[in-house]
Amino acid sequence: MIPLRYGADGTGRREDPTMRAFRADRFGQFVHWGLYALPAGTWKGRTIEFAAEFLMQSAGVSREEWSALTADFTLDGFDPAAWARTAKRMGARYVTVTTKHHDGFCLWPSAYTDFSVAATPSGRDVLGEILEAYRAEGLATHLYYSVLDWHHPDWRATVDSDADREAFERYLRFATDQLLELAERYPQVRGFWFDGTWDASVKANGRWTHEIEQLLKERIPGAIVNSRLRADDHGARHFDSNGALMGDYESGYERRLPAPWDLSVTAHDWEACATLTQASWGFHDSAWAERGRKTPAQIVEQLAQTVSLGGNLLLNFGPRGDGSLAPVEVALAEEVGAWMAVNGPAVHGSGPAAGWDYPGWGFYTAPLEHTAPQVPETPDEDPTGIVHAIVVRIPVSGLLTIALPAGVALRAVRALADGTELPFTPLDAHTVQLAAPAPTGMPAVLVLETGPAGPADGLSEPNPDVALV
Ligand code: FHN
């Protein structure tokens, strides 16, 4: 073990009620909204095929020109209640909102900068209104904060001189002031989501990353902080130099997921974040963004894969410059929501089905309280419980093969959507087969009712009448 002052604060999961609620939520909505939604990927007639929120940098826009966008941030279509309703109907249980992205523009009237909503025509506390709208719908709220800041004169990506050091220390004081200001103004938030922490300047300041996490948790007891904030004494990020997770959950999976069979991630809490379009988080009004737009079935598959591996999915929405949601994003949310209204139990309050191997045609999830004892460790332990089988890919044979963990028998299979019982055939003591559900374009969920295996369960020899696939 390497001695560390700014490494992980503990090992193992947090098991307090706030963290358990976050874990059980499984599905959150990410919202990227700021000045970048106004040009939406195009500057002076030139469309840049890169994330809209990077336009200031990718189109080489000066601070002055970018700041002038504040005049157009007029909130003409801003309807946070509609955002919150859309998120709730989609099945999201929490929201993570950008308070300040890399361009430095703040969605709240910060006392520490002029570059905020206070400088826009309405002067309204946009962030406060958004948080209130989501709370009214019963969703928990988390605040995204970019440490990287292209607007602030003291921001440094690298610290190469004494002058840089002094500037960056001033910058960290500014960031501390802003973060404590956020905690004071919005004490009901459940967590903080840090970003823009990858530069050498931040990595060399593990002490600051550690201190600000502690300070925020003092101000908001139970606050949940993502691993992306943290660096240790040696600049290791997410996991410290001893391999222990820093922060409360790992947040390194961005626009990608762990492999479906990678059970190593079930050792800790984690959250992946995903875009709806090709690669833009902010609203990008272009054919380029549309080319990569995900379908509802793809989103549901990502969600199922995430939950099967014990993670949360934070699905991003990029409202338009006027503050309205793009109809295509609302439509997607509705379709995902229609699926969640029926199949939500396979997601909310669920986690990995321990002992159930990745089946190839989909994913298994199990209610969190059953996550551990699916496979009995002692003869007295009751393995009875349900496992959800989320079918995302129907094999060409039209048959689903289910490999049961040792000691577990399958009692019944039902369709979650309508409760229909589905017949299955044992192939041997540990394997059953059944006809796959008819394709609908969206994943089907089967409820597998399990119990302890007895002598009558399964066949001791393979059944020669059933074709193996
Ligand atoms: O550069 C940002 C990007 O704009 C977006 O905010 C994502 C969300 O995870 N984070 C950064 C890239 O890692």
Q: Is 254 in the pocket of ligand 1 (CB under 6 A)?
A: yes
**Ligand 1 pocket check: which of 281, 314, 316 to mutate, most ligand atoms within 8 Å of Cβ?**
281
**Residue 12 forms part of a structural domain:** no
| Cα 193 → chain centroid | 10
Residue segments in the chain with a per-residue pLDDT below the cut of 70: 370-384, 455-469
- What pLDDT, on the 0 to 100 scale, is given for residue 10? 87
**Residue 342 forms part of a structural domain:** yes
**Residue 464 forms part of a structural domain:** no
CA 195/CA 198 separation, integer angstroms:
8
Compute, in angstroms, the gap from residue 360 CA to the centroid of ligand 1. 31
- What pLDDT, on the 0 to 100 scale, is given for residue 379? 47
Compute, in angstroms, the gap from residue 36 CA to the centroid of ligand 1. 13
Q: Is 363 in the pocket of ligand 1 (CB under 6 A)?
A: no
**Ligand 1 pocket check: which of 105, 146, 254 to mutate, most ligand atoms within 8 Å of Cβ?**
254
Ligand 1, atom 1, residue with closest C-alpha: 196
- What pLDDT, on the 0 to 100 scale, is given for residue 460? 42
- What pLDDT, on the 0 to 100 scale, is given for residue 369? 76
Q: Do 400 and 329 share a domain, yes or no?
A: no
- Structural domain span for residue 417: 353-452
Q: Do 197 and 338 share a domain, yes or no?
A: yes
Cα–Cα distances (Å) from 441 to 24, 86, 210, 301, 391, in that order, read: 27, 22, 46, 11, 11
Domain final residue, candidates 323, 349, 375: 349
Q: Is 51 in the pocket of ligand 1 (CB under 6 A)?
A: yes
- What pLDDT, on the 0 to 100 scale, is given for residue 434? 98
Q: Do 150 and 267 share a domain, yes or no?
A: yes
- What pLDDT, on the 0 to 100 scale, is given for residue 424? 98
Q: Look up residue 300 and give its two tokens.
A: 């549901």
Compute, in angstroms, the gap from residue 96 CA to the centroid of ligand 1. 13
Q: Tens digits of per-residue pLDDT, 328-353?
A: 999 999 999 999 999 999 999 999 99
Q: Do 334 and 360 share a domain, yes or no?
A: no
Question: How many domains is the chain partitioned into structurally?
Answer: 2
Ligand 1 atom with least separation from CA of 54: 4
Domain final residue, candidates 349, 380, 395: 349
458 three-state secondary structure: coil
Degrees, nearest 5: CA angle 110-111-112: 90
Q: Do 403 and 300 share a domain, yes or no?
A: no
Compute, in angstroms, the gap from residue 388 CA to the centroid of ligand 1. 32
Q: Is 281 in the pocket of ligand 1 (CB under 6 A)?
A: yes
Ligand 1, atom 6, residue with closest C-alpha: 281
Q: Is 103 in the pocket of ligand 1 (CB under 6 A)?
A: no
What is the value of pTM for the model shown?
Answer: 0.95
Quote the DSSP letter at residue 357: P
Find the CATH number of the domain harbouring 445. Answer: 2.60.40.1180
Q: Do 345 and 357 share a domain, yes or no?
A: no
**Residue 124 forms part of a structural domain:** yes
- What pLDDT, on the 0 to 100 scale, is given for residue 370? 55
Find the CATH number of the domain harbouring 344. Answer: 3.20.20.80
Compute, in angstroms, the gap from residue 275 CA to the centroid of ligand 1. 10
Q: What is the biggest distance separating any 2 CA atoms in the chain, rounded to whole angstroms?
A: 79
Q: Look up residue 401 and give its two tokens.
A: 């093969």
Compute, in angstroms, the gap from residue 210 CA to the centroid of ligand 1. 21
Q: Do 339 and 375 share a domain, yes or no?
A: no
